[in-house]
């Protein structure tokens, strides 16, 4: 009895004391710190874990290559479970450590929305390579958001161009029906605006079919699809929702060849369980696909995994999401390098300097090849007003065993995207009372 | 020894019936509130504000609301997350659509909207009791989850479904820094706690407790169940709605409907159960347990792993956190089913006799 009461009292005291304990932050000279907001648990873990592995591996590789002009990278992982409040808590916990975070990549559109509020105050760039708000491409309004290399409007645009090409011309899309099966969250809703704009332009119908988180309940959705028989189905899912969609498509007999997923719905975890049932399923490739034969992967295997220092299982190396994480880290490192070019090679850079660096990334094909990305990526050039840097994408298809590229390179149509981006960012600027930056502001 | 009431004679009914009748209590509470307002902003760094204290304050307010309904009136509710969402979106709409609306006004109007919605969704309680009522309130949760995703008007036709507010302004004081937000939430929490304590000690509170303890007997002696139950729903939803508005506007700044999902409802219910049903102070204990403990475990487990020389992956930390959290809940409910508040009041009783227990 006494022991029980003592144990209870001790645990309450411990809880009370812990709230006041503040861990001292270790200061590090000449080291760039990056918080890694990852999710290795929860419904989205099968897709989040390979991304985090690729991300951390590239930072390890950079250190193995000698750092960025001698400056080593450090990082700390934090589990967000794809939940916005946990993501915000991780960000708050890590942003001041080791001298301050240089940039943060939330890997969740929900967390991105929340951090978009906080980043300008803390002066830490939020890199959302291939996700986030599509209008954050406009760096004049979203000064601290970097949707590098791809946004959802650009991706949806490429998909429309591709099916237009398949039909023999964008005008042949008149009267066709496209169903969008999307995750019922800001992430899934992103492409709707672009699809509706394109539908007005070319005369096709868009059928919107939301799927509630976590996305395992899709029987009703696919029965609706079987009834309405759309010509194409676009899939904007994440985590287990993707494999469920493909399984349901197989169950209701919808041809997988007519399904097109976004680049977050086109990776090995989505199709491996379904196996042959996913044969013919297409997805966007945000420039890269699965690249096991690229130079950078060979380097990772040789310098890290062969010595037992790799992150995650060796089988993941070179797969689609691993490459996505790798490329996200590469863009981050190149931002550091660009910033060092202005503020001093071999010196630690701050968040504000990193922002300048990210706005002045100038990776031509030679530089990319030098880093090991020959044949994987096309040149990336960011600027103050364009935080995306590149609008290239292509389509890859699952053949039952691996992903193969099945299309040429497409580019998002600026004539369609630019007005939409400007309109949406103007609305945001008005709502938040932000004064858009001028080119003079950017030079500082 | 410190807590004896020897020599304290009350000379009026008012002094006998006041909330903190014992001067030691009064001084202690004043000291705690003064420390919270003046001491904590000087001692605490930004991370503790943003990640621990502000969520703790806002969720205590929500737990207070749920405690009024579950602990004092005995109506189990699983729809608290939905009422937080109603409060948040209503406050957002009042702020955006009416120019010149002060932020506090929008928050209170959001609470009132949530109260009205609470009355509507509280109507099943007039016919249904216990676990079945819990299921009926679940309908509120799913209905509002659906409404805020589908009905574009609520989110001001935002294409992504996510809404955000600029820094809020309180009589010229712009609330932007974590310290400002902390003080704002603390002020609202203190005011609302005093209001709640007075409500539950008054006529309405006694009606609620009568309905909770034996609703048939209460009806027999003349307490109108409709009035009692619906006012409980109204007051509870008002508190929860204001907490939701604060959560969205002050803590998150930008939110989507998933921020008020059913997990939030469960979290609030657990706060009340573990903290102590039917005790105002129980809401605070429960909120502290549920907000602070996961973060504490998250920080502690890698340290413990370090003692044993183990590299602890974040996935393992997350899983162990869930397991330990669940085990602690079971442990507390076995040790003290009436919640931490009962432990606290037992402690106080012992203190009144210390050092001479008998």
pLDDT tens-digit series, residues B259-279:
898 989 999 999 999 999 989
Q: Is residue A3 part of a domain?
A: no
Residues of chain A with C-beta less than 8 angstroms from the C-beta of B261: 213
Chain B interface mutation, best of A186, A197, A424, A427, highest count of B Cβ atoms under 10 Å: A186
Confidence of residue A206 (pLDDT cuts 50, 70, 90): very high
Say whether both A284 and A295 belong to one domain: no
Q: Is residue B32 part of a domain?
A: no
From chain A residues 165-204, the ones with a CB under 8 A of any chain B CB are 184-186, 189-190, 192-193
- Only one residue has tokens 């332009």, namely A201
Say whether both A301 and A223 belong to one domain: no
Structure tokens at B63: 């737990």
Query: What pLDDT does A1 receive?
Result: 54
Chain B interface mutation, best of A83, A180, A185, highest count of B Cβ atoms under 10 Å: A185
How far is residue A412 CA from its own chain's centroid? 17
- The strand pair at A126-127 and A72-79 is best described as unpaired
Structure tokens at A263: 């680049």
Q: Is residue A141 part of a domain?
A: yes
* Euclidean distance between CA atoms A237 and A191, whole angstroms: 12
Residue A342 and residue A357 in contact, taking contact as beta carbons nearer than 8 Å = yes
Q: Measure Cα distances from B174 to A37, B47, B171, B248, B250 in Å.
A: 30, 20, 8, 17, 12
Query: What pLDDT does A23 receive?
Result: 40
Q: Is residue B27 part of a domain?
A: no
Question: Which residues are B163's β-sheet partners?
Answer: B255
Q: Is residue B222 part of a domain?
A: yes
Nearest to B96 by CA among B85, B110, B81, B83: B110
* Euclidean distance between CA atoms B148 and B85, whole angstroms: 8
Structure tokens at B109: 């109007």
Query: What pLDDT does A28 receive?
Result: 45
Q: Is residue B34 part of a domain?
A: no
Q: What would the pLDDT profile of B51-88 be if each residue is shown by its tens digit?
A: 889 999 999 999 999 999 999 999 999 999 999 999 99
Query: What pLDDT does B348 receive?
Result: 86
Q: Is residue A12 part of a domain?
A: no
Output the 3-class SS for chain A: CHHHHHHHHHHHHHHHHHCCCCCCCCCCCCEEEEEEEECCCCCCHHHHHHHHHHHHHHHHHHHHCCCECCEEEEEEEEECCCCHHHHHHHHHHHCCHHHCECCEECCCHHHHHHHHHHHHHHCCCEECCCCCCHHHHECCCCCCEECCCCCHHHHHHHHHHHHHHHHCCHHHHCCCEEEEEEECCHHHHCCHHHHHHHHHHHCCEEEEEEECCCCCCCHHHHHHHHHHCCCEEEEECCCHHHHHHHHHHHHHCCCHHHEEECHHHCCHHHHCCCHHHHCCCEEEECCCCCCCCCHHHHHHHHHCHHHCCCCCCHHHCCCHHHHHHHHHHHHHHHHHHHHHHHHCCCCCCCHHHHHHHHCCCEECHHHHHHHCCCCCCCCEECCCCECCCCCEEEEEEECCCCEEECCCCEECCHHHHHHHHHHHHHHHHHHHCCCCCCHHHHHC
Interface membership of A117 toward B (CB under 8 Å) = yes
Give the CATH number for residue B279: 1.10.3470
Query: What pLDDT does A7 receive?
Result: 60
Residues of chain B with C-beta less than 8 angstroms from the C-beta of A186: 160-162, 256
Interface membership of A385 toward B (CB under 8 Å) = no
Nearest to A104 by CA among A69, A145, A44: A145
Nearest to A192 among B159, B300, B315 (CB): B159
Q: Is residue A173 part of a domain?
A: yes
Say whether both A403 and A384 belong to one domain: no
Q: Is residue A190 part of a domain?
A: yes
Residue A81 and residue B318 in contact, taking contact as beta carbons nearer than 8 Å = yes
Residue B235 belongs to what domain range?
A: 46-353
* Euclidean distance between CA atoms A407 and A429, whole angstroms: 38
Separation in Å, CA of A432 to nearest CA in chain B? 5
- Summary mean pLDDT of chain B: 90
- Only one residue has tokens 């010149």, namely B100
Say whether both A208 and A283 belong to one domain: yes
* Euclidean distance between CA atoms A173 and A204, whole angstroms: 6
- Structural domains of chain B, count: 1
Separation in Å, CA of A381 to nearest CA in chain B? 27
Q: What would the pLDDT profile of B204-251 be if each residue is shown by its tens digit?
A: 999 999 999 998 999 999 999 999 999 999 999 999 999 999 999 998
Residues of chain B with C-beta less than 8 angstroms from the C-beta of A93: 47, 51
Confidence of residue A419 (pLDDT cuts 50, 70, 90): very high
Residue B184 and residue B170 in contact, taking contact as beta carbons nearer than 8 Å = yes
Say whether both A103 and A137 belong to one domain: yes
- Only one residue has tokens 């216990």, namely B130
Chain B interface mutation, best of A93, A151, A214, highest count of B Cβ atoms under 10 Å: A93
The larger pLDDT score, comparing residue B170 to residue B123, is at B123
Say whether both A162 and A283 belong to one domain: yes
Separation in Å, CA of B42 to nearest CA in chain A? 13
Structure tokens at A335: 């931002």
> If 0-12 CB within 10 Å is exposed, 13-18 middle and 19+ buried, where does residue A438 land?
exposed
- Summary mean pLDDT of chain A: 88
Separation in Å, CA of B14 to nearest CA in chain A? 35
Confidence of residue B141 (pLDDT cuts 50, 70, 90): very high
Give the CATH number for residue A35: 3.40.50.2300
pLDDT above 80 (res A3): no
Separation in Å, CA of A239 to nearest CA in chain B? 16
Residue A282 burial (CB count, 10 A): 24
pLDDT above 90 (res A106): yes
Q: Measure Cα distances from A305 to A48, A58, A81, A299, B312 in Å.
A: 20, 12, 26, 9, 19
Say whether both A40 and A173 belong to one domain: no
pLDDT above 90 (res B350): no
Q: Is residue A321 part of a domain?
A: yes
Question: Which residues are A362's β-sheet partners?
Answer: A381
- Structural domains of chain A, count: 2
Say whether both A45 and A126 belong to one domain: yes
Q: Is residue B41 part of a domain?
A: no
Residue A69 and residue A337 in contact, taking contact as beta carbons nearer than 8 Å = yes
Q: Is residue B63 part of a domain?
A: yes
Q: Is residue B11 part of a domain?
A: no
Question: B253 and A189 in contact by Cβ < 8 A?
Answer: no
Question: B48 and A22 in contact by Cβ < 8 A?
Answer: yes
Query: What pLDDT does A72 receive?
Result: 92
SS3 state of residue B261: coil
Query: What pLDDT does B358 receive?
Result: 66
Nearest to A280 by CA among A271, A293, A288: A271
Residue A109 belongs to what domain range?
A: 25-151+291-392+423-443
pLDDT (mean) for B319-331: 85
Structure tokens at A108: 């969740």
Q: What would the pLDDT profile of A11-53 be if each residue is shown by its tens digit?
A: 555 554 544 444 444 444 578 999 999 999 888 888 999 999 9
Question: B314 and A78 in contact by Cβ < 8 A?
Answer: yes
* Euclidean distance between CA atoms B349 and B32, whole angstroms: 20
Residues of chain A with C-beta less than 8 angstroms from the C-beta of B300: 18
Say whether both A163 and A126 belong to one domain: no
Nearest to B315 among A15, A40, A117 (CB): A40
Q: What would the pLDDT profile of A240-250 be if each residue is shown by its tens digit?
A: 899 999 999 99
pLDDT (mean) for A257-271: 91
Structure tokens at A365: 């094909």
pLDDT (mean) for A212-225: 89
Question: A121 and B176 in contact by Cβ < 8 A?
Answer: yes
Say whether both A228 and A305 belong to one domain: no
Question: B161 and A79 in contact by Cβ < 8 A?
Answer: no
Nearest to A433 among B159, B166, B254 (CB): B166
Give Dmax over CA atoms of chain A in angstroms.
82
Q: Which regions of chain B does DSSP assign to beta strands (E)?
A: 163-164, 168-170, 173-175, 254-255
Say whether both A272 and A344 belong to one domain: no
Interface membership of A216 toward B (CB under 8 Å) = no
Question: A19 and B292 in contact by Cβ < 8 A?
Answer: yes
Query: What pLDDT does A26 receive?
Result: 42
Residue A4 burial (CB count, 10 A): 12
The larger pLDDT score, comparing residue A6 to residue A154, is at A154
Q: Is residue B19 part of a domain?
A: no
Question: B256 and A84 in contact by Cβ < 8 A?
Answer: yes
> If 0-12 CB within 10 Å is exposed, 13-18 middle and 19+ buried, where does residue A72 land?
middle
SS3 state of residue B1: coil
Nearest to A15 among B162, B292, B343 (CB): B292
Q: Measure Cα distances from A6 to A162, A353, B5 in Å.
A: 69, 53, 27
Separation in Å, CA of B220 to nearest CA in chain A? 42
Using CA atoms in the order A141, A145, A147, A151, what is the torsion angle rounded to 10 degrees? -50
Q: Is residue A303 part of a domain?
A: yes
pLDDT (mean) for B284-309: 86
Separation in Å, CA of B243 to nearest CA in chain A? 15
How far is residue B63 CA from its own chain's centroid? 2
pLDDT (mean) for B20-49: 90
Query: What pLDDT does A97 receive?
Result: 86
pLDDT above 50 (res B3): yes
């Amino acid at each position: 009895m006494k022991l029980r009461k003592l144990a209870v009292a001790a645990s309450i005291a411990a809880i009370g004391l812990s709230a006041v304990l503040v861990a001292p932050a270790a200061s590090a000279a000449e080291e760039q710190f990056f918080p890694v907001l990852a999710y290795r648990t929860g419904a989205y873990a099968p897709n989040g874990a390979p991304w985090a592995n690729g991300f951390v591996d590239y930072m390890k590789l950079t250190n193995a290559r000698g750092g960025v002009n001698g400056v080593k990278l450090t990082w700390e992982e934090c589990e967000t479970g794809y939940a916005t409040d946990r993501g915000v808590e991780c960000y708050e916990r890590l942003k001041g450590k080791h001298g301050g975070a240089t940039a943060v990549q939330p890997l969740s559109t929900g967390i991105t929305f929340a951090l978009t509020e906080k980043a300008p105050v803390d002066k830490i760039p939020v890199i959302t390579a291939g996700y986030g708000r599509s209008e954050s491409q406009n760096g004049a309004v979203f000064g601290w958001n970097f949707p590098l290399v791809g946004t959802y409007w650009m991706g949806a645009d490429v998909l429309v161009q591709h099916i237009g090409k398949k039909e023999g011309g964008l005008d042949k899309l008149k009267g066709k029906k496209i169903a969008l099966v999307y995750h019922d969250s800001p992430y899934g809703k992103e492409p709707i605006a672009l699809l509706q704009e394109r539908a007005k332009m070319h005369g096709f119908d868009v059928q919107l079919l939301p799927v509630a988180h976590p996305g395992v309940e899709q029987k009703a959705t696919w029965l609706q699809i079987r009834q309405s028989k759309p010509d194409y189905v676009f899939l904007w899912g994440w985590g287990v929702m993707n494999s469920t969609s493909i399984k349901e498509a197989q169950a209701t007999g919808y041809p997988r060849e007519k399904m097109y997923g976004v680049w977050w719905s086109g990776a090995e975890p989505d199709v491996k369980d379904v196996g042959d049932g996913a044969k013919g399923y297409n997805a966007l490739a945000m420039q890269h696909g699965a690249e096991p034969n690229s130079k950078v992967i060979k380097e990772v295997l040789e310098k890290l995994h062969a010595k037992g220092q790799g992150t995650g299982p060796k089988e993941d190396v070179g797969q689609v999401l691993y490459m996505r994480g790798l490329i996200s880290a590469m863009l981050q490192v190149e931002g550091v390098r660009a910033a060092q070019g202005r503020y001093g090679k071999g010196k630690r850079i701050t968040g504000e300097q990193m922002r300048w660096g990210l706005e002045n990334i100038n990776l031509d094909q030679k530089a990319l090849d030098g880093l090991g990305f020959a044949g994987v990526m096309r040149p990336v050039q960011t600027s103050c007003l364009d935080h995306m840097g590149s609008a290239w994408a292509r389509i890859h298809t699952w053949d039952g065993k691996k992903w193969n590229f099945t299309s040429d390179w497409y580019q998002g149509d600026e004539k369609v995207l630019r007005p939409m981006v400007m309109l949406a960012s103007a609305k945001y600027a008005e709502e938040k009372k932000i004064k858009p930056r001028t080119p003079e502001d950017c030079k500082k | 020894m410190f807590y004896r009431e020897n020599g304290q004679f009350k000379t009026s009914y008012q002094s006998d019936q006041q909330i903190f009748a014992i001067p030691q209590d009064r001084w202690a509470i004043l000291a705690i509130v003064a420390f919270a307002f003046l001491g904590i902003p000087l001692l605490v760094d930004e991370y503790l504000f943003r990640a621990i204290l502000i969520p703790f304050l806002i969720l205590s307010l929500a737990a207070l609301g749920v405690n009024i309904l579950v602990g004092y009136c005995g109506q189990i509710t699983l729809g608290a997350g939905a009422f937080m969402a109603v409060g948040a979106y209503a406050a957002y709409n009042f702020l955006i659509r009416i120019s010149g609306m002060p932020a506090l006004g929008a928050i209170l109007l959001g609470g009132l909207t949530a109260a009205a919605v609470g009355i509507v969704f509280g109507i099943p309680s007039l016919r249904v009791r216990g676990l079945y009522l819990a299921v009926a309130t679940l309908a509120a949760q799913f209905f509002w989850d659906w409404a805020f995703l589908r009905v574009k008007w609520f989110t001001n036709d935002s294409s992504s479904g996510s809404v955000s507010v600029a820094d809020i302004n309180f009589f010229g004081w712009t609330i932007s820094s974590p310290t400002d937000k902390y003080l704002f939430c603390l002020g609202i929490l203190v005011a609302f706690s005093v209001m709640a304590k007075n409500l539950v000690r008054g006529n309405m509170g006694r009606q609620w407790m009568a309905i909770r303890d034996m609703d048939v007997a209460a009806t027999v002696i003349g307490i109108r169940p409709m009035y009692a139950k619906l006012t409980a729903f109204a007051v509870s939803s008002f508190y929860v709605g204001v907490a939701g508005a604060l959560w969205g506007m002050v803590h998150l700044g930008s939110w989507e409907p998933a921020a008020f999902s059913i997990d939030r409802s469960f979290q609030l219910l657990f706060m009340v159960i573990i903290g102590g049903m039917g005790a105002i102070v129980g809401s605070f204990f429960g909120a502290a347990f549920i907000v602070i403990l996961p973060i504490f475990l998250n920080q502690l487990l890698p340290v413990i792993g370090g003692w044993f020389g183990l590299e602890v992956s974040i996935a393992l930390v997350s899983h162990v956190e869930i397991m330990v959290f669940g085990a602690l809940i079971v442990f507390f409910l076995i040790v003290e089913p009436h919640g931490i508040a009962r432990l606290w009041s037992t402690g106080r009783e012992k203190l009144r006799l210390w050092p001479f227990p008998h």
